[in-house]
Amino acid sequence: MSLQAFALIIVAGLIHALWNIVAKKAGGDSRFAFFTSAIMMLIWAPLGWWMGREAVPLWGAAEWGIVAASGLLHVGYFVVLLRGYSKADLTVVYPLARGSGPLLSSMVAIVFLGEQISSLGMVGIAGVVGGVFLIAGGPGLLRLRSDPQAHERLRHGLWYGLLTGAFIASYTVVDGYGVKLLLMSPILIDYMGNFVRVALLAPVVLRNLPEARSLWRQQWRFAALVALVSPIAYVLVLYAMQQAPLSHVAPAREVSMLFAALIGGHLLSEGDRLVRIAGAVCIAAGVTALALG
Q: What is the pTM of this model?
A: 0.81
pLDDT value of residue 95: 78
pLDDT tens-digit readout, 113-163: 566 767 887 787 778 777 767 766 666 555 555 667 766 777 888 889 889
pLDDT tens-digit readout, 105-114: 666 666 765 6
Distance of alpha carbon 252 from the chain centroid: 15
pLDDT value of residue 235: 76
pLDDT band at 271 (very low <50, low <70, confident <90, very high): low
Q: Domain tally for the chain?
A: 1
Strongest mean pLDDT among 10-24, 104-118, 128-142, 265-279: 10-24
Lowest mean per-residue pLDDT among 30-39, 63-72, 163-172: 163-172
Question: In which domain, by residue range, is 277 found?
Answer: 3-292
